[in-house]
Each structure stands twice: as structure tokens, then as C-alpha cells.
């Protein structure tokens, strides 16, 4: 039985997937199984699939398919547009080996292609949206970014997998919030590094799915007071987004 199962959800972007897979062949830690779940690719990326879906089922459902088919003690998620630095899995594994049982989630350092930091784990914003943590001395994360995360299987067995009603975006937020409310914690592992080549700009499709997922999360986990106060917090978040542009 492998120590770690690496799950990659793929949809097109064949060249990026090839780079992602190549980075895994260079890992200093090789006691892992690899499962690629293809969500109906049409550009040749489907040829690398372990599990192949005829259509795009969304990230959460595809990730759950991969997790259900895996056997590792730990489950690592890696975006198909990310490249893992060679000690990524080794560093995560060493951290997990030394941890207590209630650490169920591990956050990587996610870098942009220019070397600047994209994420040092994530936290739940007051309106339910997942927000990236950045900085040299970051606050303890609530949950890892699904771009490059590792979960203890014991935790997933107890709390369940990703909410499949969340098609994409904030599925990692919902799982992290659910885990935290059941007594699990997240550890940031700074030397577990990946480079993320994904597009960071907002567009209408991303905005729609992000806000839809956030509403589902609030419905699942927020009380009336939290929902009420989420409105001004959302306004603040959008104002910050516009200002950053």
C-alpha cells in the first residue's frame, strides 16, 4: 500500500498536464500512487487518464472519484497546471509523520511563475469565501488550497469527501470548514513548494461559480446572523478586488 495517493483532476491543457506529470517523476519521495481523473478533455490530455469521464463533472466530483479509487494513507491533490518542486511530497510526508492525529490537512507553498507567493494556505473570509494567505510569517491556515493540498485519509473517512453540489471553486473551503468544525486542524508546510501556472484573472465564468459555491457553503454552515453580516463583507471583498486591479 502506498503512503500517499496523488490525485490530479484534468480538463484539457495537455502541455501543462505533461509538465505536471513530469514534475512528479522527479520527486525525491516515490512511495506514491498516481491517479489522473480526466473530465472530458478534447485536446489529447485524456490519454493520461486513470479514470476517464465522458463529460466535465466538475472538480469536486472528479476529485472524489480519484480519492475513492486511491489506497494511500494520505491523499494529495495537485492541479494539472501546477509543477511540484522535487521535495514537495517528501516534505509533506515528513511533516505528517511527526504530527498528532488531529492534524488532518497540510498546506503547501504555492508560487506564481514569477516566484512570488500565491498561497501559504487559506482562511475562511467572513462571507464564506476562501481567501489565500500570503506573507513571510503567515497566520495559521484554516485549510489548504486545493491547488496543492494533502489530507489524512482518516479525516476524510470521518468527515466525508468534497461536496459535489459545489461544481468548482470553494470546494476546498467547504471541506476545510467542515473539518475544522469537527476538531481537525491544518498545518502549513513552507518547504513543500509547487509552482502554479493557472490564470489568476477573474472572469464572469469564474465569478459565477465562485459565488455560487460560496452561497452553497453558507447554506450548509452559516447561521442567520452570519448570512446577514456576509453582505457587507462581500461588498468589502469586491471593493478590494476592484482596487487591486
Domains assigned to the chain: 4-244 (3.90.550.10)
pLDDT-derived band at 199, boundaries 50, 70, 90: low
214-242 pLDDT, tens digit per residue, is: 999 999 999 999 999 999 999 999 888 77
Report, as an integer, the average pLDDT of 154-166. Answer: 97
pLDDT-above-90 percentage for the chain? 86
pLDDT at 24 exceeding the cut of 90: yes
Confidence at 201, pLDDT banded by 50, 70, 90: low
How far, in Å, CA of 167 to CA of 111, rounded? 25
Query: Average pLDDT of 175-200?
Result: 93
**pLDDT digits 0-9 by tens, 26-79:** 999 999 999 999 999 999 999 999 999 999 999 999 999 999 999 999 999 999
pLDDT of residue 1: 59
**Residue 41 near residue 14 (C-beta atoms within 8 A):** yes
Residue pLDDT, tens place only, 103-123: 999 999 999 999 999 999 999
Q: What Rg do the C-alpha atoms of the chain give, in angstroms?
A: 17
- The predicted pLDDT at position 232 comes to 93
Q: Which three cell numbers stand for residue 138?
A: 503567515
pLDDT at 243: 79
Half-sphere exposure of 112 (CA within 13 A, CB side): 9
Q: What is the pTM of this model?
A: 0.94
Greatest Cα-to-Cα distance within the chain, rounded to the nearest angstrom: 49
Amino acid at each position: 500500500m502506498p503512503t500517499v495517493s496523488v490525485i490530479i483532476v484534468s480538463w484539457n491543457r495537455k502541455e501543462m498536464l505533461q509538465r505536471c506529470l513530469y514534475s512528479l517523476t522527479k520527486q525525491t519521495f516515490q512511495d506514491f500512487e498516481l491517479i489522473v481523473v480526466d473530465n472530458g478533455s478534447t485536446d489529447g490530455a485524456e490519454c493520461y487518464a486513470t479514470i476517464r469521464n465522458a463529460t466535465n463533472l466538475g472538480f469536486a466530483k472528479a476529485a472524489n472519484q480519484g480519492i475513492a479509487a486511491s489506497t494511500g494513507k494520505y491523499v494529495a491533490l495537485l492541479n494539472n497546471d501546477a509543477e511540484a518542486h522535487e521535495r514537495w511530497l517528501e516534505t509533506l510526508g515528513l511533516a505528517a509523520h511527526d504530527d498528532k492525529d488531529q492534524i488532518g490537512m497540510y498546506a503547501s507553498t504555492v508560487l506564481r511563475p514569477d516566484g512570488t507567493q500565491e498561497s501559504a494556505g487559506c482562511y475562511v473570509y467572513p462571507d464564506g469565501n476562501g481567501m489565500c494567505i500570503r506573507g513571510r510569517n503567515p497566520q495559521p491556515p484554516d485549510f489548504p488550497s486545493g491547488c496543492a493540498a494533502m489530507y489524512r485519509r482518516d479525516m476524510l473517512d470521518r468527515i466525508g469527501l468534497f461536496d459535489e453540489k459545489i461544481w468548482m471553486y470553494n470546494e476546498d473551503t467547504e471541506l476545510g470548514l467542515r473539518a475544522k468544525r469537527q476538531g481537525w486542524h491544518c498545518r502549513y508546510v513552507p518547504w513543500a513548494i509547487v509552482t502554479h501556472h493557472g490564470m489568476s484573472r477573474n472572469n464572469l465564468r469564474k465569478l459565477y461559480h465562485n459565488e455560487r459555491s460560496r452561497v452553497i457553503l453558507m447554506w450548509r454552515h452559516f447561521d442567520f446572523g452570519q448570512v446577514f453580516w456576509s453582505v457587507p463583507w462581500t461588498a468589502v471583498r469586491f471593493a478590494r478586488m476592484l482596487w487591486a486591479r
